[in-house]
Amino acid sequence: MTPIVDASDGPVGSKVIFTDVTRQHELQEELQRSRQELETAYEELQSTNEELETTNEELQSTVEELETTNEELQSTNEELETMNEELQSTNEELETVNEELRQRGTDLSRSNIFLGGILRSVPLAVIVLDGQLQVELWNDVAADLWGLRADEVNGKHFFGLDIGLPVEQLKQPIAALMRHGDQRVDTQIEAMNRRGRQIRLHVQCVSVGSGDQGKGVIVLMQELGTRAAPTRH
């Protein structure tokens, strides 16, 4: 807005000039926005740069950890190789032990066959008890005398057997044998065989083994009427 005056500087009116500055204003706003976006982008770039530096440090730390892990894996691999050699050596020893056990098993089988032949040839009822007085051996004569097979009595307590033998009469002698391993007991007992016939038995109890090996008792029985000669006491 500009005043209009005459030659004597007297006011005669005003001049009003309008100029369209919309484009300049828009450009100014765009410039302001661009500056803000540039500042924001710069801040993001700085933040990204800091993150990259942190990531680089983490990668360096990871590389160091991987190197340490690789060294540990190499050490573990060496230990595993050593263990494998030890296992191979142990396997060879086990194979040797296995072969010895197989040989002992063969020898034991032969011994069992030999023992079975001996027991079948003995005209006595032979009963072997372990340290807990459980039946370990029961020969054919005992089976015929009492009517129970070996597989029916093996592992069972001798004094719990339901047979015609009054086993309570043997408790005290057998207990004495378990306490004193170098003794032998001879006695005679009235009993009833598997056919229900009253018989008189000569019973001999002998202790076997020792405290370290495990004690046991061998019980030998024979009908007095079937013996060819009297037994000395």
Q: Would you give per-residue pLDDT tens digits along the chain (233 residues)? A: 988 888 888 888 898 999 888 988 899 999 999 999 999 999 999 999 999 999 999 999 999 999 999 999 999 999 999 999 999 999 999 999 999 999 888 887 777 676 666 666 678 899 999 888 999 999 989 999 999 999 999 999 999 988 898 988 888 888 888 877 657 888 899 999 988 899 999 999 888 876 555 578 899 999 887 543 333 33
Residue where a domain stops, chosen among 98, 121, 144: 121
3-state class (DSSP) for residue 147: coil
Distance CA 61, CA 107 (A): 66
Residues 116 and 30 in one domain: yes
Residue 10 lies in a domain: no
Print the domain residue range for 201.
123-226
Residue 189's beta-bridge partner residues? 201
Tokens representing 144 are 């015929």
Give whole-number Cα distances, 96 to 84, 86, 101, 108, 109, in Å. Answer: 18, 15, 9, 18, 20
Residues 132 and 209 in one domain: yes
**Which of 110, 118, 152 has its CA nearest to residue 135?**
152
Distance CA 168, CA 183 (A): 19
pLDDT value at position 230? 38
pLDDT value at position 231? 38
Residues 127 and 171 in one domain: yes
Residues 128 and 117 in one domain: no
3-state class (DSSP) for residue 122: coil
Tokens representing 11 are 């006011």
Distance CA 134, CA 219 (A): 12
* Whole-structure pTM value: 0.51
Residues 99 and 133 in one domain: no
Residue where a domain stops, chosen among 121, 149, 164: 121
pLDDT value at position 207? 85
Number of domains in the chain: 2
Residue 7 lies in a domain: no
Residue where a domain stops, chosen among 121, 146, 179: 121
pLDDT value at position 167? 87
